[in-house]
Amino acid sequence: MVIIMLGAQGTGKGTVAGIISENTELVQLSTGDIFRKNIKEETKLGIEANKYIAKGNLVPDDITVPMVVGYLDSDIAKNGVILDGFPRNLAQAEKLDKILEERGKKVDLVVNLTTPREEIIDRILTRRVCSNQQCKATYNLKMHPPIKEGICDKCGSKLIQREDDSNEEAIQKRLEIYENETAPLVEYYRKKGVLRTEEVSVKINRLGKQVAFDIIKDIKDK
């Protein structure tokens, strides 16, 4: 099974994908984590990707696609995947369809998360992540703080703020890029009949955990 997470940064894609992954055999593949791993290891693709990420720009397809395909073809993804952060535009979506078709697979479900813009910005600025790449737990200082300040509840590692989460101007730019380049994917997948849109917001008292378990129930009922 292949699930795609859509939604601007800060809508809770990673949280929802993580809960689904923990309760199914599907593995969560976050392009953000893939980028950070390559950047930390200073691979050729990682060095090139960092030039764009540091400026709040999207990483070009000729860097992104090879990274994602490498993971799709690995044993990690043999039982199915949840793609978090890919595809980001129509060209990538079409490439993904072709890649999956060549492997006898298809996109089964696209989860589109929506959240008010001002809430997104606040969420990103107050977001903290576990520095342990094997854990990848995410917290929010207001909505979901760790039990012990600065320490991950799950593994005890230090919590950090991603560099691209600390600059509001860069966040605004990322949201504009999303609206211009990624939002059209909503219509693309709606036409394919695989789109599921969910609003995630404190204003309606519906957060990612509720959405995730509703999706898990539907997956297991099929």
The pLDDT confidence band at residue 138, using thresholds 50, 70 and 90, is confident
Assigned CATH topology for domain 2-115+182-221: Rossmann fold (3.40.50)
* CA distances in angstroms from 123 to 51, 69, 142, listed in the order given: 25, 30, 8
Residue 33 CA to residue 64 CA, distance in Å, equals 12
Tell me the C-alpha distance between 141 and 163, whole Å: 16
**Helix 61-72 and helix 90-102, axial crossing angle in degrees, nearest 10:** 30
Q: What is the domain partition of the chain in residue ranges?
A: 2-115+182-221
15, 30, 55, 199 alpha-carbon torsion, rounded to 10°: -40
Degrees, nearest 5: CA angle 100-102-105 = 40
In DSSP terms, which residues pair with 3 in a beta bridge? Answer: 82, 109
What pLDDT band is residue 212 in, cutting at 50, 70 and 90? very high
Band of pLDDT at residue 15, cut at 50, 70 and 90: confident
Q: Please indicate whether residue 7 or residue 36 has the higher confidence score (pLDDT).
A: 7
Q: Tell me how far apart the alpha carbons of residues 202 and 70 are, in angstroms, rounded to a whole number.
A: 37
With contact defined as beta carbons under 8 Å apart, do 111 and 198 qualify? yes
Q: Which of 64-68, 117-121, 192-196, 200-204 has the highest mean pLDDT?
A: 192-196
CB atoms within 10 A of CB 55: 10
Give me 117's structure tokens: 């813009």
* Residue 116 confidence (pLDDT) above 90: yes
What mean pLDDT comes out for the span 116-141? 90
| Higher per-residue pLDDT: 181 or 20 | 20
Strands 127-130 and 109-114: unpaired
Mean pLDDT, residues 69-86 taken together:
89
The answer on pLDDT for 201 being more than 80 is: yes
Q: Annotated catalytic sites, by residue?
A: 13, 88, 127, 162, 174
